[in-house]
Structures are given as structure tokens and as C-alpha cells.
Amino acid sequence: MKKLLFRSPPVYKVRSMVPTISRLSLRTAGIILLSFYLFAGVIYSFALPTEGRFSDEKEYLQLSGNLLHGRGYSMDGVHPTAMRPPGYPLFLTAIEAMGGGMVAMRIVQYFLFAGTARKKIDAEAFLSSPVW
């Protein structure tokens, strides 16, 4: 056998100096941040006053109160209104019908937001994963 006169130099893998973050650690960090958000949201819900602070908040609460007490979808309890869409007042009416007050309404909304954010994290992880 012939000996080669020139040997090829060994191939070294060069690692990047920038640390990489795995998807699992990003997902774990996202879940920890969402948990902190929920904890802070529950505390904040108890710290806020129990009545509406803004005009639209007061109108939605008034609509849900009228729906709950059988006065229809109206602002004054007499004349029907089309000023606000009915979805959110129906949502508030359901919470109020189960015995929840303003604090419960806020806490449920924090949980709904956190659930939406969690689904977004899962969807992005699914869409960014390789298909084959």
C-alpha cells in the first residue's frame, strides 16, 4: 500500500460562543412567567375597588346586572340597547349568577388570558418543530 504524502488535517467542530437556549427551557420560563402573572393578578384583583372604575366597565356591569335581574339587555332597565355587543355582558352575567362579584370576574379574566397565552406558547412550539 502506498503511503500518502500529505495527511488531511483533523476536522474540529467549532462551537458557537453564544449559549443556546433549548425550547424546553423557554417553555418552562414561559410557564413560570404565566404562574407569576396569575399570582400577581389575583392579588391585584383583591386590591382594586369592587365597583367599576371606567365608564365602559360601569356600562358592562350595568348591562349584566339588568340581564341577571330580568330587565333585559338595557342600560336603564326599560329601553333595550344596541350600544354594546352582548358577549361580554353575558359572560359577566354568568359569573355573577354563580355568586361571583367583581373580584371573581377579574380573576376569571386573568385565568382566561393566561390560558390563551399558554395555548399560544404551545401552538408556537408545535409550529416551529420540524415536521419530518
pLDDT in tens, 9-23: 666 655 555 455 666
The domain ranges of the chain are 25-128
Query: What confidence score (pLDDT) does residue 103 get?
Result: 92
Q: Give the CA count within 13 Å in the CB-facing half-sphere of 65.
A: 14
Query: What confidence score (pLDDT) does residue 66 get?
Result: 94
Q: What is the pTM of this model?
A: 0.69
Q: What's the gap between Cα 114 and its chain centre?
A: 3
Task: Tell me the C-alpha distance between 50 and 68, whole Å.
Answer: 18
Evaluate whether 101 touches 50 at the Cβ level (below 8 Å): yes
pLDDT in tens, 39-54: 999 999 999 888 888 8
pLDDT in tens, 56-111: 889 999 999 999 999 999 998 889 998 899 999 999 999 999 998 899 999 999 99
